[in-house]
Amino acid sequence: MKLLHLQLFWYEKHQTLLEMEDLPVLTPAQEQELKEWSKKRRKLLSYEVHQQPWVKVNADGFSSTLLLKPNGTLTEKDLFSEKALNGLWKVIDGFLFIKVISGEFIVEYQIVGNTENNIHSGFEYINGKVSSYSKFMKLHPGA
Distance CA 126, CA 79 (A): 20
pLDDT attached to residue 142 = 58
Are 89 and 49 in contact, with CB atoms under 8 Å apart? yes
Give per-residue pLDDT as tens, 87-116. 999 999 999 999 999 889 999 999 999 999
pLDDT attached to residue 141: 65
Within a 13 Å sphere around the CA of 117, how many CA atoms are in the beta-carbon half?
6
Cα 58 vs. chain centroid, distance in angstroms?
10
The model carries a pTM of 0.91
Q: How confident is the model at residue 51 (pLDDT cuts 50, 70, 90)?
A: confident
